[in-house]
């Protein structure tokens, strides 16, 4: 393993100012990460880039940057400054309501986190996307022209979007045709009103659309996507639906089915239903029984009281099997633990680095203790360089297909290269 202990080092005066870094051995390391909560962005960039330069010992091929809105006055020069101090390479990043670094989720106060990597043998294809409404729907332009020229070598697509000016589903639909079975991981910038979120690509600050990079060759990239729900009641076949509106489940309206189920639930689950219910689409409708993790989870956007119809946060078709779902901190904790354990059983070699996109509805809004997702991942798979944000929509594959999620933790893991 290329990484040893995780350290939290305080630099300079003040108990609240610190830099996290992954302390390594004497070996040259392919990944390094750093995060600073300094209120002075220039100082924070100096400290984090110095840690990464010392750890890597060379110019990185790829650097991911995440920053809170506390530093908005200096967004225009942020990416260029980071790239200059690291000596070059591709820089990709965005703003976040909360920045993740190491085992911490910085939910209060300023923070900036960086992850840099030397991706031996990798070919990086960066892109910037623009979206346009047309009579035929939303059109997306800007993906690399030679997207399909080396599909077998493509490891993953990292995608970051501005939530008010991009339509990530249109990108996922395009990539499903061009790069089938390739994971798309990332998230939507968060923490700002329309016009306030930012994306960063190389030397530039971008205020709309989406950016990303196609990674060909280099280390393998695995994904863990935890939706954090558990099914309640019985599954039903959808018998009447149109786009994202379900009119009938098993011949009755969704509202009728939910009312029947509600009276059968224990008091704790009744309270969770009152707080908000979700609906899951079975990933394999030919299964005889369904359990947690067997569904793509969609938010319930509303219910028509007159007809009892349900509006979901995604398309549901007649013939699909669906089941109501509930989510709380305990369920989300158990789900993430289960998936991390499964990852270890399938890939016992610990990852070299990770990117985490957790929903901004998680953190202390969902869990009783802070730093839940980041600390759990470090405890199960670390220590490792780990950065990310609380996103306004998380991207990741479920059942071999890429989706945009809510209330989810989507994790991309770079595997350690063989010696």
Task: Tell me, yes or no, whether 27 and 150 share the same domain.
Answer: yes
Task: Tell me, yes or no, whether 222 and 237 share the same domain.
Answer: no
Cα angle: 154, vertex 156, 159; to 5 degrees: 135
Structure tokens, 31: 């990944």
- 326-379 pLDDT tens trace: 999 999 999 999 999 999 999 878 899 999 999 999 999 999 999 999 999 999
Task: Tell me, yes or no, whether 264 and 122 share the same domain.
Answer: no
- 62-106 pLDDT tens trace: 999 999 999 999 999 999 999 999 999 999 999 999 999 999 999
- 153-198 pLDDT tens trace: 999 999 999 999 999 999 999 999 999 999 999 999 999 999 999 9
Q: Looking at the predicted structure, is the pLDDT value of residue 20 above 70?
A: no
Q: Looking at the predicted structure, is the pLDDT value of residue 148 above 90?
A: no
172 contacts 198 by C-beta, under 8 angstroms: no
Q: Please count the CA atoms within 13 angstroms of the CA of 332 that sit on its side-chain side.
A: 24
> Is pLDDT larger for residue 1 or for residue 83?
83
- 262-317 pLDDT tens trace: 999 999 999 999 989 999 999 988 888 888 889 999 999 999 999 999 999 999 99
Domain that holds residue 115: 3-226+332-415
Confidence tier at 4 by pLDDT (50, 70, 90): very low
CATH number at residue 315: 2.40.30
Cα angle: 327, vertex 314, 201; to 5 degrees: 90
Mean pLDDT of the chain: 90
The whole-number pLDDT of residue 235 equals 95
Domain boundary among 326, 352, 377: 326
Q: How many domains does the chain have?
A: 2
378 contacts 103 by C-beta, under 8 angstroms: yes
Distance CA 366, CA 380 (A): 20
The whole-number pLDDT of residue 418 equals 46
Q: Looking at the predicted structure, is the pLDDT value of residue 52 above 60?
A: yes
The whole-number pLDDT of residue 417 equals 57
Q: Looking at the predicted structure, is the pLDDT value of residue 11 above 80?
A: no
Task: Tell me, yes or no, whether 140 and 23 share the same domain.
Answer: yes
Task: Tell me, yes or no, whether 280 and 293 share the same domain.
Answer: yes
Domain boundary among 278, 309, 326: 326
Question: DSSP assignment, residue 372?
Answer: H
Q: What is the pTM of this model?
A: 0.90
- 98-141 pLDDT tens trace: 999 999 999 999 999 999 999 999 999 999 999 988 887 788 89
The whole-number pLDDT of residue 377 equals 98
Task: Tell me, yes or no, whether 127 and 276 share the same domain.
Answer: no
- 202-222 pLDDT tens trace: 999 999 999 999 999 999 999
């Amino acid at each position: 393993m290329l990484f040893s202990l995780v350290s939290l080092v305080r630099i300079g005066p003040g108990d609240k100012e610190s830099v996290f870094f992954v302390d390594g051995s004497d070996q040259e390391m392919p990944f390094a990460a750093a995060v600073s909560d300094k209120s002075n962005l220039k100082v924070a960039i100096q400290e984090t880039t110095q840690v990464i330069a010392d750890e890597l010992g060379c110019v990185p091929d790829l650097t991911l940057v995440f920053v809170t809105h506390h530093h908005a006055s200096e967004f225009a020069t942020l990416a260029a400054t980071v790239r200059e101090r690291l000596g070059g390479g591709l820089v990709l990043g965005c703003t976040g309501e909360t920045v993740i670094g190491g085992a911490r989720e910085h939910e209060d106060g300023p923070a900036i986190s960086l992850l840099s990597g030397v991706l031996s043998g990798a070919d990086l294809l960066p892109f910037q996307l623009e979206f346009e409404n047309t009579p035929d729907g939303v059109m997306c332009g800007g993906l690399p022209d030679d997207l399909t020229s080396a599909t077998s070598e493509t490891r993953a697509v990292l995608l970051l979007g501005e939530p008010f000016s991009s339509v990530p589903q249109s990108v996922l639909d395009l990539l499903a045709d061009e790069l089938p079975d390739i994971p798309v991981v990332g998230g939507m910038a968060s923490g700002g009103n329309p016009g306030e979120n930012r994306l960063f690509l190389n030397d530039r600050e971008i205020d709309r659309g989406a950016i990303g990079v196609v990674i060909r060759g280099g280390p393998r990239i695995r994904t863990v996507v935890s939706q954090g729900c558990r099914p309640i009641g019985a599954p039903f076949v959808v018998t009447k639906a149109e786009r994202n509106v379900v009119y009938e489940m098993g011949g009755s309206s969704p509202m009728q089915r939910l009312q029947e189920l509600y009276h059968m639930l224990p008091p704790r689950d009744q309270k969770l239903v009152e707080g908000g219910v979700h609906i899951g689409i079975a990933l394999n409708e030919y299964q005889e029984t369904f359990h947690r993790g067997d569904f793509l989870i969609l938010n319930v956007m509303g219910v028509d009281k007159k007809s009892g119809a349900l509006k979901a946060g995604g398309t549901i078709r007649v013939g699909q099997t669906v089941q109501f779902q509930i989510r709380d901190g305990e369920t989300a904790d158990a789900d993430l633990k289960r998936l991390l354990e499964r990852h270890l059983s399938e890939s016992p070699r610990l990852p070299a680095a990770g990117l985490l996109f957790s929903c901004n509805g998680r953190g202390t809004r969902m869990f009783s203790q802070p730093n839940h997702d980041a600390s759990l991942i470090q405890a199960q798979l670390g220590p490792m360089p780990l950065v990310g944000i609380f996103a306004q929509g998380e991207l990741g594959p479920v059942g071999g297909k890429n989706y945009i999620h809510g209330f989810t933790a989507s994790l991309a893991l770079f595997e350690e290269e063989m010696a």
